[in-house]
């Protein structure tokens, strides 16, 4: 049994390594680690950082911008012709490979010394997410995925949980704190999930939440109003770990709407049933 498991694991690592997307995944990993090191080195100085408010409850520090520059430098050195969509500096137009970058996901946590944040980098080609990396610099946990090649945490293959009931389930979410227009709808969803699940976690980094779902640390996840850079890498991790993702209309327009429900196929069905009655027309 153990030998079989080792063989499966070796096979998983090999499939992960042998693919045309591997060089791009390597660059994403290098960029994520380098940005993560920079974020960690800055974490002792948060009190002295220059912080800008981009919108209500939406902040960016020098560290977000420095980390983003570092990531873009590494990507542009390897692939000067590729396009970039980055949270802090926007669109850098190139060819139809698009790197989607959140240099620091969980800025509010970072600025408070609350130890839960990540770097998120995805590569899209012709509308499909091909590569995804979420890096937690505090725990040195590297989550990687390639389309069709599985999802990994460091060198371990990931799989969503086998949980098949809301009883005992741990569900992740994010609060709609930037705009309150969907707060009532959200609180209805929150109430329904609170009643049925064992617990709800709002950890503060959507990218890491999705990575945790892929790793079986959460049994489901939902959020309203995410941006593409918050979720692109995490979405591939979840799918490659056997999970299902939909928007609130049970379609696949979550990258456009920013509203998503993600879980194993069984848990997705259960979570969707709890959330759907509270979905208003402008969340569809």
Q: Give the residues lining the site for ligand IPD (CB under 6 A).
A: 102, 105-108, 174, 204-206, 226, 230
One symbol per residue from 232 to 251: x for binding Ca ion (CB under 5 A), - otherwise; what is it? --------------------
Q: Which is nearer to Ca ion, 86 or 160 (CB)?
A: 86
Among 68, 102, 209, 240, binds Ca ion (CB under 5 A): 102
User: Residue 116, Cα to own-chain centre: how many angstroms?
Assistant: 13
Taking CB under 5 A as the rule, does residue 223 contact Ca ion?
no
Interaction of residue 230 with Ca ion, rule CB under 5 A: yes
Contacts (CB under 5 A) with Ca ion, residues 70-99:
87
Partner from ligand IPD, Ca ion, none contacting 174, C-beta within 5 to 8 A by type: ligand IPD
CB of 39 to ligand IPD, least distance (A): 12
* Least CB distance to ligand IPD at residue 243 (A): 18
Q: Which of residues 7-36 bind Ca ion (CB under 5 A)?
A: none
| Residue number, 60 or 197, with CB nearest to Ca ion | 60
Measure Cα distances from 206 to 66, 77, 95, 242 in Å: 21, 28, 28, 19
Interaxial angle between packed helices 22-42 and 62-78, expressed in degrees from 0 to 180 and rounded to the nearest 10: 160
> Does position 219 bind Ca ion by CB under 5 A?
no
- Under the binding rule (CB under 5 A), the answer on residue 105 touching Ca ion is yes
Residue ranges in contact with Ca ion by CB under 5 A? 87, 102, 104-105, 230
């Amino acid at each position: 049994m153990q030998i079989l498991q080792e063989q499966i694991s070796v096979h998983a690592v090999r499939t992960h390594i042998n693919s045309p997307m591997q060089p791009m995944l390597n660059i994403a990993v290098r960029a994520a680690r380098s940005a993560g090191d920079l974020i960690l080195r800055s974490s002792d100085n948060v009190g002295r950082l220059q912080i800008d408010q981009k919108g209500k409850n939406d902040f960016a520090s020098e560290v977000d911008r420095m980390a983003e520059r570092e990531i873009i430098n590494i990507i542009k050195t390897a692939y000067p012709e590729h396009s970039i969509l980055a949270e802090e500096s926007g669109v850098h137009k190139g060819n139809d490979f698009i790197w989607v970058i959140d240099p620091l996901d969980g800025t509010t946590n970072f600025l408070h010394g609350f130890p839960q944040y990540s770097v998120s980098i995805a590569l899209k080609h012709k509308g499909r997410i091909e590569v995804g990396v979420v890096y937690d610099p505090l725990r040195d946990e590297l989550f990687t995925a390639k389309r069709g090649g599985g999802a990994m945490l460091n060198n371990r293959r990931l799989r969503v949980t086998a949980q098949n009931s809301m009883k005992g389930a741990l569900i992740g979410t994010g609060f709609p704190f930037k705009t309150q227009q969907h707060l009532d709808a959200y609180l209805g969803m929150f109430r329904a999930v609170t009643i049925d699940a064992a617990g709800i976690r709002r950890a503060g980094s959507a990218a890491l939440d999705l990575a945790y779902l892929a790793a079986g640390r959460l049994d489901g996840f939902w959020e309203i109003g995410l941006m593409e850079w918050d979720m692109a890498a995490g979405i591939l991790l979840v799918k490659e770990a056997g999970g299902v993702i939909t928007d609130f209309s049970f379609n696949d327009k979550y990258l456009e709407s920013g509203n998503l429900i993600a879980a194993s196929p069984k848990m997705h069905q259960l979570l969707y049933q709890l959330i759907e009655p509270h979905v208003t027309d402008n969340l569809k």
